[in-house]
Structure 1
Amino acid sequence: MTAATMLDTYREVVTPEGVPLQLRAAGPLPRAVAWLVDLAIRGAALMLLSFPLMLLDELGRGIYLALMFLLNWAYAIVLEAVWGQTLGKRAMGLRVIARDGAPVGWSGAVTRNLLRTVDMLPFGYAVGLVSSLFDAHGRRLGDLVAGTLVVHGDASPRHAPATIDSALPPPVPLQPQEQSAVIAFAERAPLLSPARQQELAGIVTPLTETDGQVGVLRLYAMANWLLGRR
């Protein structure tokens, strides 16, 4: 166990589109604060609703118990599935995502929240706390089973789009679909890792007449020429 585990750690994931993200995983402390905020919100909602429900006697008690159940379980499931965060997580700048950086979805939200019953054992979220302390990315058992991760909301692509000012005409005439492929590469490649950029550029080495990063830059320049940026 390290100090980083107690606080926050970084995890790199590659999205289904092939974009690498550096995600700052949330440690137990900010997650605990978010949980307390959600607890206070649920408690305040129940307290406010209890006053008018007291006037309904038995019916009011039944409605109160139903609302208590919904706030304890549906609250987190619905908000995480729809928005990726509860109000407490939003206040702390946290978000729940799938392991590949995609939205958590209903399946992940239901699984991770139902397994709170295990994480809460034997008391005070002891099992969940131990799990998050020993996991490199602060995941409790519910996250491990659901394949989810709680991260800070500042996740962004690791590689910012590059600006290439030069323009280079292709050495041979290109068919329309080939022109579209070169332009598409220039638009999407800046979001990929350098190694992946060079791998894709290597496929058209006969066009760039070189490989490596020079080949990548030539494809950018050809895209500029095709787009009229001369």
Structure 2
Amino acid sequence: MRLDTLHTAETPEGIALSLRPAGLVARGLAYLIDFAIRLGIFVGISITVGLLGKMGVGILLISYFCLEWLYPVIFELTRAAATPGKRVMGLRVVMDSGLPVTPAASLIRNLLRAADFVPSFYAAGIVSMLWRGDSKRLGDLAAGTLVVFSDQVSLHGEVPKAEPQAPARPLSAREQLAVVSWAGRASRLTPERFDELARVAEPVLGPDSAGATASQRLLGVAQWVLGRRAGAELRPGAGGGGAGR
């Protein structure tokens, strides 16, 4: 069962990237902003070429085509990988792998907006986005792209305070890292899931003499790993070696 909406992608170099797909509301607002920009440009062109007769009509049709189909592609291939509307909403377009979007993928995802529009008002695209956990519309599925929030995802936060507690046995460096990483996700997990994960570490927890939950006891171990001891503050340079000694 999914614990959050993060999409994890692995680069060819073996680096794991955590991406946060954008939902319907953020993408809908970005679309409205871009629509207003495109409409303003179109009206401006219409006024400019209105006196050119048939030539003006031809220029207007070409302008409409470019605004409808090439406007998003051009902006998505820039360094920001986003149209002005997406940039305002803090979004960007990337490949499933987390790599920059390619020209072919950008062109495919935007040309298939016609399929997302079926039967009207982007009904197919909306249903697809609501149905999928990664909020992909049909164009994204065909192109292998994702629309994600451009801000960095922080998986680990501050370790909650707890009474330091020595583990039942010495911990390896990998085990220490796992305990501290678990503690740093306290604000991202439900209390039930947080405690469920803590119970996996029961073998390294000391005796429970005060009726504390598994998560409370493991938080104490995390504080111990970070170098804290009962009645003492964190020692400079103590980060992580305490329990493995």
TM-score, scaled relative to structure 2: 0.60
Contact 2:20 2:153 (C-alpha < 8 Å) held by counterparts: no
Secondary structure of the corresponding residue to residue 18 of structure 2: strand
Q: Which residue of 2 aligns with 1:122?
A: 119
Is structure 2 residue 33 aligned with structure 1 residue 57?
Answer: no
Contact 1:20 1:157 (C-alpha < 8 Å) held by counterparts: no
Is structure 2 residue 117 aligned with structure 1 residue 98?
Answer: no
Q: Which residue of 2 aligns with 1:173?
A: none
Is structure 2 residue 69 aligned with structure 1 residue 73?
Answer: yes
Structure-1 separation of matches of 2:106 and 2:14 = 24
State the identity %.
44
Q: 2:36 aligns with which of 33, 40, 57?
A: 40
Q: Alpha-carbon deviations, 1:194-218, whole Å to 9, x = none?
A: 8xxxxxxxxxxxxxxxxxxxxxxxx
Structure 2: which amino acid aligns with 1:92? M
Structure-2 separation of matches of 1:31 and 1:98 = 17
What's the C-alpha RMSD, in Å, of the aligned pairs? 2.3
Structure-1 separation of matches of 2:121 and 2:71 = 20
Structure-2 separation of matches of 1:71 and 1:145 = 22
Counterparts in 2 of 1:139-154, with a 5 A limit?
A: 139-154=136-151
Higher relative contact order (CA 8 A, sep 6+): 1
Q: Which residue of 1 aligns with 2:132?
A: 135
**Unpaired stretches in structure 2, ≥5 consecutive residues:** 157-176, 179-245
Kindly state the Cα deviation for residue 158 of structure 1 after the two structures are TM-superposed.
5.8
Structure-1 separation of matches of 2:102 and 2:153 = 20
Q: Which residue of 1 aligns with 2:21?
A: 25
Structure 1: which amino acid aligns with 2:150? G
Q: Which residue of 1 aligns with 2:107?
A: 110
The count of residues paired between Structure 1 and Structure 2 equals 157
TM-score, scaled relative to structure 1: 0.64
Structure-1 separation of matches of 2:154 and 2:11 = 10
Kindly state the Cα deviation for residue 78 of structure 1 after the two structures are TM-superposed.
1.5
Structure 2: which amino acid aligns with 1:54? G
Distance 1:77 1:109, change over 3 A: same
Instruction: Give the 4+ runs in structure 1 shifted more than 4 A.
Output: 156-159
Kindly state the Cα deviation for residue 154 of structure 1 after the two structures are TM-superposed.
1.1
Structure-1 separation of matches of 2:48 and 2:142 = 40
Query: Structure 1 or 2: larger helix share?
Result: 1
Q: Which residue of 2 aligns with 1:12?
A: 8
Kindly state the Cα deviation for residue 156 of structure 1 after the two structures are TM-superposed.
5.3
Secondary structure of the corresponding residue to residue 9 of structure 1: coil
